[in-house]
Amino acid sequence: MSASVFGAAAEPIVIDVWSDVVCPFCYLGHGILEQAVEQFPHGSSVRIRYRSFQLHPGITRPVPADDYVVAKLGMPKAQLDASHAQIASRGAQVGLDYRFDKALMADTMDAHRIIHLAGAHGRQIDAVKRMFKAEFTDGLDVSDHTVLAGLAVELGLDRDEAIRTLETKGYEKEIQADLLQARQYGITGVPFFVFDSKRAVSGAQPLETFRHALDVSWQDRAATPA
């Protein structure tokens, strides 16, 4: 961290990200944000913190994502395919491999529990990225406890702790706090990025948008007396 600007005890720029595992734009937004932070001269002074959100709560069983969107949201298949092609093209530019034909729409509450568990062990961002890959590249059921426990082990977490977290509905308080904060902010769609609790970016915006938000946030910090 740059002590010359903030002082030795300064806090990092905090980016709170409301996101859902089955949201393709959230995966894309994460990839673009990561690239923006990597290019930011003060990237080591940035902390990304993920918040839980559910786009489609209450799904009782996993179904092919395309079928769900066409049937439940009324989007024509041709329009959906065109949207997927655009997302996949943008995603490839930041190293993401979308395979929409394999993606499942499932309840994501338990996936959020594992993300919170990983966060408690300092692995939140890794968990978010692994969940996205599981959904959009591997075609895994992110509501299945066996799948989620396996992903937790991949992240270096204890399988028994992961299973216990899922069986006891762990981190419910934290998840509900995230959802409440989203309602208070008026968030109805994700991804939604809040920089230092001051300015928001909605959606998977171009790289330049995130860079501008980082630059302005840094300037705010620089203008504040240490």
Return the CATH number at 201.
Answer: 3.40.30.10
Q: How many Å apart are CA 118 and CA 7, to the nearest integer? A: 30
Q: What is the pTM of this model?
A: 0.93
Residue 102 domain-assigned (yes or no): no
What is the span of the domain harbouring residue 26? 3-58+107-218
Residue 69 domain-assigned (yes or no): no
At 16-50, the pLDDT tens digits run: 999 999 999 999 999 999 999 999 999 999 999 99
Q: Is the pLDDT of residue 140 over 70?
A: yes
Residue 81 domain-assigned (yes or no): no
Kindly tell me the number of DSSP H helices and DSSP E strands found in the chain: 10, 6
Residue 186 domain-assigned (yes or no): yes
At 37-93, the pLDDT tens digits run: 999 999 999 999 999 999 999 899 999 999 999 998 889 999 999 999 999 999 999
| pLDDT given for residue 8 in this prediction | 32
How crowded is residue 97: how many other Cβ atoms within 10 Å of its Cβ?
11
Q: What is the number of domains present in the chain?
A: 1
| pLDDT given for residue 224 in this prediction | 67
- CB–CB of 134/142 below 8 Å? yes
Residue 83 domain-assigned (yes or no): no
- CA dihedral of 135, 52, 50, 7, whole degrees rounded to 10: 180
Residue 66 domain-assigned (yes or no): no
Average pLDDT value for residue range 93-114? 98
